[in-house]
Amino acid sequence: MKSIIFLFTTFTTFNLFSQSVDVLIKSEVRNLQEATVFTILEPKTDTSQVKFVARIQAKDKNKKSNIEFLYSEIRKEATKIGANCFKIKSFERGGKRNEAILILDCYVSQDSTIKQNKENREKNVIYIFGGEREDDNSISFKINGEEKQIKSGTYYKVILNPNEPITISKGGITGASAVLNWEKDKEPIFYSLSGLGLASLNNQPTFGLAFTSGSINKISNNSLGLLLTKLLKQGN
């Protein structure tokens, strides 16, 4: 990435009780238009023309579910100053203050890079999430009638193949189900069985619940879904 002179300073942008969002590092890139997207950069994406904008930290009390809130707060600050993509710097929970802390490095890139980045995502894959924290309970569900379990803090990954429909179900006869089929260049799909990633976030229509069938819920924001796959462990 291009060499940039960083201004090492911290700006507190949000502070309520233990919750805070801080700009830890801000570059000399200025006067950017507010961004309308905020996408996670894929490892395959050419970032030679991507410019660093800021390193932003969000933290909160260590709750059962933190990631969506922390990501949302960073997204608000990052898009406001013109960043439209990001990489994960770190995520940790616990410590002396029993907090969850997410740090993202935020960048601005051209539309062509954003388009290429989207094309670099894995296609025809389903991610199913249970709880966020490892000390939560496991969740049972079925894939094509076969019993599966997701340990909390992990996700279940399913690959879609041509002419092989996948049925995800939960809750027995009166429960919920979703049937998915392979399609050319099908974007990743993210489901939550626990409410993870489904918080109601004001003024961000790309977030939250896009599809619901009882206890099987689709996470509509792909970058949030991909972020969850990076911060949680694969359980199958």
Is residue 121 packed enough to be buried (19+ CB in 10 Å), middle (13-18) or exposed (0-12)?
Answer: middle
Q: Is the pLDDT of residue 207 over 60?
A: no
- Per-residue pLDDT averaged across 153-177, rounded? 88
Side chain identity, residue 98: N
Structure tokens at 77: 């600050």
Q: Specify the pLDDT at position 137.
A: 85
d(CA 188, CA 216): 16
Q: How far is CA 129 from CA 5, 97, 168, 187, in A?
A: 40, 27, 12, 17
Q: pTM for the full model?
A: 0.83
Q: Which of 7-11, 76-80, 125-129, 148-152 has the lowest mean pLDDT?
A: 7-11
The mean pLDDT value for 184-195 works out to 91
pLDDT given for residue 12 in this prediction: 42
Instruction: State yes or no: pLDDT of 177 exceeds 60.
Output: yes
Mean pLDDT of 127-154: 91
What percentage of the chain exceeds 70 in pLDDT?
82
Q: Where are the domains of the chain?
A: 6-118, 121-234
- Which residues have CB under 8 Å from 128's CB, separation 6+? 141, 150, 155, 156, 157, 158, 168, 191, 192, 193
Mean pLDDT of 74-91: 97
Rounded to the nearest integer, the mean pLDDT of the chain is 85
